Structure 1
Amino acid sequence: MAFADSSETLTCLNCQNTSADAGAVKGEHNFCWVCIDCVLDKQRGVSTPHECRAGERLVGERRIQEVGRHGSFITCTYCVHASVPAVKSCVMCEASLCDTHLTVHSKSPEHILIEPTTALRNRKCSVHKKILEYYCTSDATCVCVSCILFGDHRGHRVETFDVVSRRKKTRLKNDLKKLFSRSEETEKQRQTLQTQKAEVLGKTSGATERVTALFRQIRRQLDALEKKVLSEVSKQDEQMSVSVSKLIEQLELQKDELSQKMSYIEELCNKADPLVILQEQESERADFCGSEVGAADPKVCQDGQIYKVACMDEGLIAVTLHKGLCDIIASIMGGLNIHGAADLLLNVHTAGNDIQISGDLKAASWSQINQNYPEKSERFQYDQVLSTRSFSSGQHFWEVETSETGVWFMGMCYPSVDRKGRQSWIGDNNKSWCLRRYDNVQYSVIHDGKWLQLPHSVSCHILGIYLDYEAGQLSFYELRDPIRHLHTFTATFAEPLHVAFSVYKAWVRISN
């Protein structure tokens, strides 16, 4: 490496320091001896002479290209002729350093080196311009030595960054564990929902297939019934046509016979010989005088009234149609395994004295008059009543008609529910589930004393109750068009269930 002597003060191109001891290499670049020694140390063992910083620049450019592939970078503060990536930043100097400048940088403790950053000013006290080294726990802020000794934080409790940082890391690790636990739980919930979603999709797909098959079956049965009824109509039409045609033929023959007799009598009336007329009358008297002239066939008329021989048997058609439709409904309902309310009656022995039960045991209404029912252990103290029948399996559906005013409760309960006291009200214990309507305004659902007001406004006075005992579902619907779902209770039923009603200034009726 060739150097040019010079007695003048030169500025090192590398570190920007001025020195009379600086030398110049070929290429007319000035470097101090410290930087030259540094480069020589790095190139020890390399035979190629160092003529200028072109090699260093190429290395820097390669490093820039490498960093550029991964995003932006912070450049060395002192490399003014090339954008060389910094490897460290000095808080004291507020400068970023490349590998070369880092080797010649001050090693004193005051010069704290950190990872490259542009936010060096944030690491100094804005008041005293000194490095932030402590944390004031009283004010929860970072401070410098001057802040502690004679600044605003004098006398405050302070700790070093290391102590506070370790404590915060410990807290963060605990938070991380909690977050990890929550993340795992969230993932489990997500997987559970995914499983439920798949189950729901499977159920909806199965329901779609079942409904499609059901209506296909209904259409086949309706088509068969239609053919049967139309066949009966066609049969009657043919029978009536034949019958009427025969009667018409008989009447035409009778008319011809009468026409012949009328012509013969007219001929006699036109003869002038009395003897001939009298003799003819005596001989033919039995033919046209022995019976009433022009009498109608008794098969066709009686007392002058024509029989309605052409009347269709509409009763037979109606009975055929009714029986066919009933058979279809019975077949479909049997396939659905849903039982109706034909045999669902109210148990008058459970009715409170403020409830009046109808004669058909289908309706319950509130009464101001005490009914004075006989005292029984199963009788409710308040205005409530249960059904005679209980359900411990299967799927069941009932329609219930309600009054437009007053308060009513409808639902189901175990037979072991209390009959006296506040806990005997349906919904106010863990043995009953019910829907409540208040003054035709709003719905609520109640179980175990917990009330939930539903967002639905009252829009119908015919409701449906659906029970799937094995699935543990009790659902309520408004039977309007379209049907509206109100609420579904989900539980594991442990006892048979009775239908339960409670009314106040209202009435309810079980529809068949």
Structure 2
Amino acid sequence: MASADLRKELECYVCLNIYTDPVTLKCGHNFCRGCIGRVLDTQEGSGGYSCPECREEFQDRPALHRNITLRNIVESFLSAQPDQEESGVFSTYCIHTPVPAVISCLMCEASLCDNHLRVHSKSPEHVLCVPTTSLENRKCSVQHSHLQAGGPNIGAVQQTSGVSGVTDILLDVETASNLLHISDDQKTVSWSSSHQKRPETPERFQCSQVMSSQRFSSGRHYWEVDVRRAGYWRVGMCYPSIDRRGGQAYIGNNKKSWSLEGGWGWDNQHSVIHDRKEIRLPSIVSSGKARIDLDYEAGRISFYDLRDPIRHLHTFTTTFTEPLHAGVYVSGGYIKIRGGNQK
């Protein structure tokens, strides 16, 4: 079996990385122990449990059986891989998934794993190369000039034959609380001490929250936020039928939304929340920048810390019953939406 094919067989369905301490459910599917543990935690109190891959249901929380054979295969595979740092290969991750990149595009600077490389390379205008310690050294003068003039960059990679890059999220002023100010480009939301005097409508949140104007009912998308200047904040995804008033309207405080939360003074931990069930994360979003991934058909919402390298925080797994909007809550300071057509 080719190395790339074997790697795919050794990837956890939840985090999309190679298994760490693999365990097996009764249905036969394997996961990292930590990943499936967090998925089962989110299903607590829902009346049952299910496998995130095949959806087989279990009345009681399933036992996790350590897969020693799979663990040994993983260890053998990893020990046979060349050390990227020693070989001088540029260490980076695919723009679509938190999987180490194997190659980079000189035209748009997108770094890609094996799977997404196949799609990206079908574009004749894109020139691919093996990543080096300095990507700048691999660009010709034409490509460098094109990028300096405002050509495509990693944050602007859009739909490529069905694979999504950073999605251009715009905040919907019609849903914004009157406690929030929305910038003219609809990409920055600021908490305001003065009432914004917008008309009170059924669509408008009473709490300091806003949704995106875009809705997603298919495909894979991700968007990014800069929360370094925010007070208390929550970012995530929600259904359009989410309540707009009361404590149940907060993103994460209901069955219709999924959120990552943090803020000033949260020196030790951040959390992810769904249906008022809070899961404490091992550490904070150290970069101050977060990425939210949506895979609609797979029923996954994932959160990442955009440090170097990118770090997976948590994945919620469910079956979506409505389109989804991006959602932002902020109390104090401001949050900036990153990516899209921004530079």
TM-score of Structure 1 vs Structure 2, range by shorter chain: 0.5 to 0.7
Matches within 5 A, 1:403-442: 403-404=228-229, 406-439=231-264, 440-441=266-267, 442=269
Q: CA deviation at 1:404?
A: 4.2
Preserved contact between residue 214 and residue 332 of structure 1 (Cα < 8 Å):
no
Secondary structure of the residue aligned to 1:353 is: coil
Query: How many angstroms apart in 2 are the aligned matches of 1:193 and 1:229?
Result: 45
Q: Which residue number corresponds to residue 357 of structure 1?
A: 182
Report whether the alignment pairs 1:369 with 2:194: yes
Q: Which residue number corresponds to residue 189 of structure 1?
A: 26
| Number of equivalent positions | 237
Q: Which residue number corresponds to residue 94 of structure 2?
A: none
Query: How many angstroms apart in 2 are the aligned matches of 1:187 and 1:425?
Result: 35
* Deviation by residue 1:429-469 (Cα, 9 ceiling, x = unmatched): 10011010032422111111111111113311111111111
Preserved contact between residue 229 and residue 335 of structure 2 (Cα < 8 Å):
no
Query: How many angstroms apart in 2 are the aligned matches of 1:392 and 1:486?
Result: 24
TM-score by length of 1: 0.40
1:470–1:220: structure 2 CA closer, same or farther, 3 Å change rule? closer
Q: CA deviation at 1:389?
A: 1.0
1:320–1:220: structure 2 CA closer, same or farther, 3 Å change rule? closer
Gaps of 5+ in 1: 1-185, 233-316
Secondary structure of the residue aligned to 1:372 is: coil
1:188–1:380: structure 2 CA closer, same or farther, 3 Å change rule? closer
1:373 alignment partner AA: R
Report whether the alignment pairs 1:455 with 2:282: yes
Report whether the alignment pairs 1:221 with 2:46: no
Q: CA deviation at 1:399?
A: 1.5
Q: Which residue number corresponds to residue 333 of structure 2?
A: 506
2:173 alignment partner AA: V
Q: Which residue number corresponds to residue 121 of structure 1?
A: none
Query: How many angstroms apart in 2 are the aligned matches of 1:414 and 1:338?
Result: 21
Preserved contact between residue 156 and residue 165 of structure 2 (Cα < 8 Å):
no
Q: Which residue number corresponds to residue 470 of structure 1?
A: 297
Query: How many angstroms apart in 1 are the aligned matches of 2:261 and 2:154?
Result: 36
1:191 alignment partner AA: G
Which protein has the bigger helix share? 1
Secondary structure of the residue aligned to 2:261 is: strand
Query: How many angstroms apart in 1 are the aligned matches of 2:158 and 2:208?
Result: 38
Q: CA deviation at 1:403?
A: 2.9
Aligned counterpart in structure 1 of residue 315 of structure 2, from 485, 488, 495: 488
Percent of pairs with identical residues: 42
Q: CA deviation at 1:191?
A: 3.4
Preserved contact between residue 162 and residue 219 of structure 2 (Cα < 8 Å):
no
1:407 alignment partner AA: Y
Q: CA deviation at 1:330?
A: 8.1
1:416 alignment partner AA: S
1:338 alignment partner AA: S
Preserved contact between residue 228 and residue 289 of structure 2 (Cα < 8 Å):
no
Report whether the alignment pairs 1:334 with 2:239: no
Query: How many angstroms apart in 2 are the aligned matches of 1:396 and 1:386?
Result: 16
Matches within 5 A, 1:194-343: 209-210=114-115, 213=118, 221-222=127-128, 326=152, 334-335=160-161, 337-342=163-168
1:217–1:404: structure 2 CA closer, same or farther, 3 Å change rule? same
* Deviation by residue 1:397-442 (Cα, 9 ceiling, x = unmatched): 1111113451000011100111111211111110011010032422
Query: How many angstroms apart in 2 are the aligned matches of 1:357 and 1:483?
Result: 28
Query: Cα RMSD between the aligned structures?
Result: 4.2
Moved segments of 4+, more than 4 Å: 194-198, 211-220, 226-230, 317-325, 327-333
Query: How many angstroms apart in 2 are the aligned matches of 1:406 and 1:228?
Result: 41
Gaps of 5+ in 2: 1-22, 32-50, 54-66, 75-98, 100-111, 130-136
Secondary structure of the residue aligned to 1:476 is: strand
Moved more, 212-221 or 377-386: 212-221
* Deviation by residue 1:466-485 (Cα, 9 ceiling, x = unmatched): 11111111111111111111
Aligned counterpart in structure 1 of residue 171 of structure 2, from 346, 356, 367: 346
1:229–1:399: structure 2 CA closer, same or farther, 3 Å change rule? same
Q: Which residue number corresponds to residue 89 of structure 2?
A: none
Aligned counterpart in structure 2 of residue 380 of structure 1, from 205, 208, 218: 205
Secondary structure of the residue aligned to 1:398 is: strand
Preserved contact between residue 157 and residue 165 of structure 2 (Cα < 8 Å):
no
Secondary structure of the residue aligned to 2:201 is: coil
Choose between structure 1 and 2 for higher RCO, CA contacts under 8 A separated by at least 6 residues.
2
Moved more, 211-220 or 496-505: 211-220
1:380–1:221: structure 2 CA closer, same or farther, 3 Å change rule? same
Q: CA deviation at 1:367?
A: 1.1
1:438–1:335: structure 2 CA closer, same or farther, 3 Å change rule? same
TM-score by length of 2: 0.58
Aligned counterpart in structure 2 of residue 401 of structure 1, from 226, 240, 249: 226
1:451 alignment partner AA: E
Which protein has the bigger strand share? 2
2:255 alignment partner AA: N
1:463 alignment partner AA: A
